Amino acid sequence: MAQNQTESLGSLIDDFDRQSEPKKGSRGGGGSSKLPPKNVILSVVVLGCLIGAAVFAARALRTEVGSLERWSQERTLIDMETGEVFEDYRVADGVAFPLENPNTGTVTLLPAEACNWTRDGRAKWDPTWVYVPVGESVECPDCGRPVVGRNPQPPVELMLEALDRKEAGGG
């Protein structure tokens, strides 16, 4: 008798333990055991959230990079009055020229044209910057050649030769 009691008490405790576990034994209604375990549902939800967050972050990042690109356009500007040159000046896209010269406070900064010619008909890697009014042609103060809007560079072989000279320290 006493042995039997302990046995049934043990099986009661067993049942209690099993019920608290996520996995149910073969005992009991089969309906609930066919549902996917809670852990699986939870991990699917978490995974979905992570993917969503990643996509969101990627989009946000791309937008930010795009706006950075818009703002990082660098141009070389020249003061049309003093001739002061601002190389690689950061200019916002679609801005109206002239811009204010940060040194003098006058609104006289315009995009500069590059002349890469030397007086003896060779090319130089570092150009002379020239202020050219729209639609006009201005004589380069260094080589005397006419400089126009979107001034064309010397032929590429001359530019490469100029780069070689610059890297060799000859300027």
Contacting residues toward Zn ion, per CB under 5 A:
115, 117, 128, 140, 142-143
- Name residue 114's beta-bridge partners: 129
Distance, in Å, from the CA atom of 130 to the CA atom of 111, rounded to the nearest integer, reads 9
For the CB of residue 59, give the shortest distance to Zn ion in the complex, in Å. Answer: 47
Amino acid at 16: F
For the CB of residue 115, give the shortest distance to Zn ion in the complex, in Å. Answer: 3
Residue whose CB is less far from Zn ion, 10 or 146: 146
Residue whose CB is less far from Zn ion, 77 or 140: 140
For the CB of residue 126, give the shortest distance to Zn ion in the complex, in Å. Answer: 11
Residue whose CB is less far from Zn ion, 25 or 141: 141
Show Cβ contacts of residue 99 under 8 Å, excluding neighbours closer than 6 positions.
77, 91, 107, 109, 110
Element (H, E) at 129: strand 123-130
